[in-house]
């Protein structure tokens, strides 16, 4: 597929049109931000890791868990053809272990296993710092319908069940993650955006070493090394 004009540039990816209006090409950057863009930096090789890992996981989710995704075809290390969607403006967050903003907000120590997975919706709006919203807010403001929320909730817990087991198999605890969904032209909800060390918390199962973007957010050092280690765990490289 042919890469045409740039449609959008986000914090970590660019999106390009193709000759077919149902498809786009995403291009993953090494740029990294945190705290709604307030902290800026670069993580060398991150774009490659995130592109390849996200594609690999989405392919598996489609084939082995029956989750429809935007993934179509990896063109090269940083670029992928995806189905064009309008993004539902919600960050869907699942947590298996307390960490990050959950620990801060609720005073639950980081690392405390949760008795069951939790689900949070946040409005995708950096200027408002992605505030948490509930189902009433979402329906009342028209960000998604009740049926959309039901579909998203069903897919999201299935994704968590699948990914939790997958990562366990490569010695990684899936602490929490954020996903986004989009709607195709014909109204179908599919998994979009990415699943990567930018959007998940990965802890080594034995040492609990952080292998994700928290190393950048919290200035823990060896950021590139953590991304490469996740690449090795997933692809054996
Ligand atoms: P949080 O604990 O900071 O709310 O983050 C929960 C999960 O969501 C964590 O895996 C990191 C991910 N995340 C994003 O992907 N984008 C964001 O903007 C934020 C704040 C978190
Ligand atoms: N999406 C957040 C930002 O741009 C980054 C993060 O914490 O993952 O600031």
| Two tokens, residue 232 | 């090795």
**Contact 178 CB / ligand 2 (< 6 Å):** no
| Ligand 2 atom closest to the CA of 199, numbered from 1 | 8
Q: How many CB atoms lie within 10 A of CB 209?
A: 15
Instruction: Quickly state the pLDDT bin for 198 (edges 50, 70, 90).
Output: very high
| Closest Cα to atom 20 of ligand 1 | 35
Q: What is the tally of helices (H) and strands (E) in the chain? A: 6, 14
Query: For a substitution probing ligand 1, which of 199, 211, 213 has the most ligand atoms within 8 Å of its CB?
Result: 199
146 within 8 A of 153, measured Cβ to Cβ = no
* Inter-CA distances, 158 with 52, 65, 145, 164, 202, Å: 22, 7, 20, 10, 18
Question: Which architecture, in CATH terms, is 86-235?
Answer: 2-Layer Sandwich (3.30)
- Distance (angstroms) between ligand 2 centre and the Cα of 76 equals 25
d(CA 178, CA 119): 10
Query: For a substitution probing ligand 2, which of 10, 32, 33 has the most ligand atoms within 8 Å of its CB?
Result: 33
Domain 6-83 in CATH: superfamily? Phosphorylase Kinase; domain 1 (3.30.200.20)
- Distance (angstroms) between ligand 1 centre and the Cα of 138 equals 19
> Does residue 237 have a pLDDT over 90?
no
Q: What is the pLDDT of residue 127?
A: 95
> Does residue 70 have a pLDDT over 80?
yes
> Does residue 121 have a pLDDT over 80?
yes
Q: What is the largest CA-CA distance in the chain?
A: 51
Nearest to 86 by CA among 195, 194, 181, 199: 181
Domain segments of the chain as ranges: 6-83, 86-235
Percent of the chain with pLDDT over 90: 99
Which residues make beta-bridge pairs with 34? 39
Convert the pLDDT of each residue in 151-186 to its tens digit.
Answer: 999 999 999 999 999 999 999 999 999 999 999 999
**Contact 158 CB / ligand 2 (< 6 Å):** no
- Say if 6-83 and 86-235 have the same CATH topology: no
Mean pLDDT of 74-88: 98
């Amino acid at each position: 597929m042919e890469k045409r004009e740039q449609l959008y540039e986000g914090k970590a990816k660019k999106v390009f049109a193709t000759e077919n209006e149902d498809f786009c090409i995403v291009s993953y950057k090494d740029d990294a931000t945190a705290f709604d863009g307030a902290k800026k930096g670069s993580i060398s090789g991150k774009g490659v890791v995130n592109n390849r890992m996200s594609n690999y996981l989405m392919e598996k989710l489609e084939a082995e868990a029956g989750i429809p995704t935007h993934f179509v075809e990896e063109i090269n290390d940083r670029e992928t053809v995806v189905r064009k969607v309008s993004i539902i403006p919600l960050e869907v967050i699942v947590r298996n272990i307390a960490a990050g903003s959950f620990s801060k907000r609720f005073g639950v120590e980081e690392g405390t296993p949760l008795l069951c997975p939790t689900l949070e919706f946040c409005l995708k709006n950096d200027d408002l710092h992605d505030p948490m919203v509930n189902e009433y807010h979402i329906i009342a403001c028209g960000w998604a319908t009740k049926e959309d929320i039901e579909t998203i909730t069903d897919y999201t817990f299935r994704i968590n069940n699948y990914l939790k087991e997958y990562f366990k198999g490569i010695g990684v605890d899936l602490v929490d993650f954020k996903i986004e969904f989009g709607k195709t032209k014909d109204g179908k909800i599919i998994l979009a955006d990415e699943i990567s060390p930018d959007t998940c918390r990965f802890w080594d199962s034995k040492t609990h070493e952080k292998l994700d973007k928290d190393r950048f957010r919290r200035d823990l050092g060896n950021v590139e090394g953590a991304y490469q280690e996740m690449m090795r765990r997933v692809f054996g490289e």
